[in-house]
Structure 1
Amino acid sequence: MDLYCDIQGQGTPILCLHGHPGSARTMAVFCERLAGPYQTLAPDLRGYGASQVRQPFHLEESLEDLVALLDRQGIEQCWVLGWSLGGILALELALRYPDRILGLILIATAARPVGNHPRPSRLEVVNTGLASLINLVIPGHPWVIRHLGQNSLYRYLLRRHTPVAYRRLAQEGFGAFVHTSRHAHQALNQAMAQGYNRLPDLGQIRVPCLVLCGDQDCHITAQASLETAHHLPQAESRCYANTAHLLPWEIPHELLNDIEAWLSCHTSNLAPPPG
């Protein structure tokens, strides 16, 4: 599939893969900083955003789409940055196409995803809808955050309910949710229902990896992320206090500083990209 892709910057390419629900726009927090010294490629995955489909599909087909995208851009090797589902796809790319991958940056993800999300209450569901709609009109307003957001399902996605995070929710998160297709929901549910577990295979990944997680993440727990780091032969990890699944929107500067420092360390000996 010819994926929609937002491409910015020059230099060594970084393929930026969004989560579920998600879109290329939700990766702006990374592309805004990394584009320049690097070339960022943020696609809408199959069934998401502008890459819509009419037929059901399997997640494995997304891997073929991504390799085709790299081929069209003439990219032989790249870094892959994946958030949540995007991190799972990043691991799969490294396992199936090892010669194409320079290294992995894995955020709020795991090779054996485990969650501990509590059962939502009816009030939380209602407050989520109200918070989302009002936040579209007045993004990041303190009243919305205090009276609705902190008493909604956002309490499980965020631990730091900042205006910056809620502006990201309004500008990028809401649209990504609306434009995530039912086929994308089905593909993810099918994959998870099969008991996804790639821990036994991670020893095959011989590229440097950076694993970042939030200590209060209940969608994919920090323990699951750190377990993944432990099984990767060349991994560094960091767990950030008082953050959850949307930690790139909670602590963008701290997170990006760590990513840039890690990339700088591991790209210093790379040859310039072709062309």
Structure 2
Amino acid sequence: MKLYYRELGEGTPLIILHGLFGSSDNWLSVGKVLAEAYKVYMLDQRNHGQSPHSEEHSYEAMAEDLKEFIETHGIEKPIVLGHSMGGKTAMTFAVKYPDLLDKLIVVDIAPRGYPVHHDVILEGLFSINLNALESRQEADQQLARFVPDLGTRQFLLKNLTRNSEGQFEWRINLKVINDTIQIIGKGMDKGLSKALPTLFIRGLKSHYIKDEDFDLIYQLFPGAQIESVANAGHWVHAEKPQEIIDIVRGFLGKS
């Protein structure tokens, strides 16, 4: 699958993968700064952003998409950074193709399984009647019945666009994401078979990487480093962009 991507900077290649319901522009601010020292590729994963839709939505498929992207663009040994769903894609890719990347950075996701917890968000998105929708403000009002947090609604509604006829539609493949949501939460049962510089970053206000996840991280990714960002939740890069930049730069400079 040929993924949509944004490309910035020159130097050592750094590929960034967004999370569920996200897109490449979620990382644009951080990517612009990192592009001062790296050639940054920000990808839209399948069924997200401006990339193609598919009936298959699994980490194995997304890892193969990443492999195809690297090979198509002739990228040698990139650093791969993934957030949330993108972090699971990055981990899956690293375990399957450890010789194709130089370093791995995983943001606010552990290799464990997660129970389905996006039910209300999905219900809210499906509740919006796109055929009758007249404005983004109206969509926000409808979604607010399910998602009270304004920031989360703004993030989700970035996926709302108009087609050539002016009608609202979703950029994300909402049906397939809903049908495969249990797959998105699945854990990993295999880890790296050889050493690879690996960094996990977590927000201390997030529940995605808990202290009790450390043993599994070290088991599957031997020698991994774990850094925590204070006063940050799951969207660490949006809440504390400078801290993320400093941690990533520090890791890449030392490793």
TM-score of Structure 1 vs Structure 2, range by shorter chain: 0.7 to 0.9
Contact 2:114/2:187, CA 8 A, preserved across alignment: no
Show the counterpart of 2:187: 197
Distance in structure 2 (CA, Å) of the matches to 1:222 and 1:20 = 20
Question: How high is the TM-score relative to the length of structure 1?
Answer: 0.72
Gaps of 5+ in 2: 129-135, 161-169
How far did residue 180 of structure 1 move? 1.7
Map of 1:74-153 to 2, 5 A cutoff?
A: 74-114=74-114, 153=147
Contact 2:8/2:41, CA 8 A, preserved across alignment: yes
2:218 to 225, 230, 243: 230
Distance in structure 1 (CA, Å) of the matches to 2:175 and 2:11 = 35
Distance in structure 2 (CA, Å) of the matches to 1:105 and 1:222 = 17
Distance in structure 2 (CA, Å) of the matches to 1:27 and 1:184 = 24
Contact 1:80/1:104, CA 8 A, preserved across alignment: yes
Map of 1:258-269 to 2, 5 A cutoff?
A: 258-266=247-255
Find the residue that maps to 1:210 and give its secondary structure.
strand
Matched positions, count: 235
How far did residue 229 of structure 1 move? 3.4
Distance in structure 2 (CA, Å) of the matches to 1:176 and 1:223 = 33
How far did residue 98 of structure 1 move? 0.9
Contact 1:82/1:89, CA 8 A, preserved across alignment: yes
Percent identity (aligned): 25
1:58 aligns with 2:57: yes
1:175 aligns with 2:150: no
Distance 1:67 1:182, change over 3 A: same
Distance in structure 2 (CA, Å) of the matches to 1:20 and 1:176 = 11
Contact 1:113/1:197, CA 8 A, preserved across alignment: yes
Show the counterpart of 1:68: 68
AA aligned to 2:222 is: P
The one-character-per-residue Cα deviations of 1:116-158 (angstroms, maximum 9, x if unpaired) are: 969969xxx7xxx9xxx66x99xxxxxxxxxxx9x98476xxx
Show the counterpart of 1:243: 232
How far did residue 57 of structure 1 move? 0.7
Distance in structure 1 (CA, Å) of the matches to 2:97 and 2:248 = 23
Contact 1:116/1:221, CA 8 A, preserved across alignment: no
Distance 1:221 1:205, change over 3 A: same
How far did residue 197 of structure 1 move? 2.4
Distance in structure 1 (CA, Å) of the matches to 2:75 and 2:114 = 33
The one-character-per-residue Cα deviations of 1:150-172 (angstroms, maximum 9, x if unpaired) are: x98476xxxxx9xxxx5x974x6
By percentage of residues, which structure has more helix?
Answer: 1
AA aligned to 1:197 is: G
The one-character-per-residue Cα deviations of 1:180-233 (angstroms, maximum 9, x if unpaired) are: 21255146414147xx222x5224252111111112214x24346534433221
Find the residue that maps to 2:19 and give its secondary structure.
coil
Find the residue that maps to 1:202 and give its secondary structure.
coil
Distance in structure 2 (CA, Å) of the matches to 1:50 and 1:116 = 25
Contact 2:77/2:102, CA 8 A, preserved across alignment: yes
The one-character-per-residue Cα deviations of 1:23-82 (angstroms, maximum 9, x if unpaired) are: 1111213311111311111111111111132x4113122222211111111113111000
AA aligned to 1:96 is: K
AA aligned to 2:177 is: H
AA aligned to 2:218 is: H
1:15 aligns with 2:5: no
1:207 aligns with 2:196: yes
AA aligned to 2:240 is: I
Distance 1:119 1:56, change over 3 A: closer
Question: How high is the TM-score relative to the length of structure 2?
Answer: 0.77
Distance in structure 1 (CA, Å) of the matches to 2:89 and 2:102 = 15
- The RMSD of aligned alpha carbons is 3.6
Gaps of 5+ in 1: 138-148, 156-160, 267-275
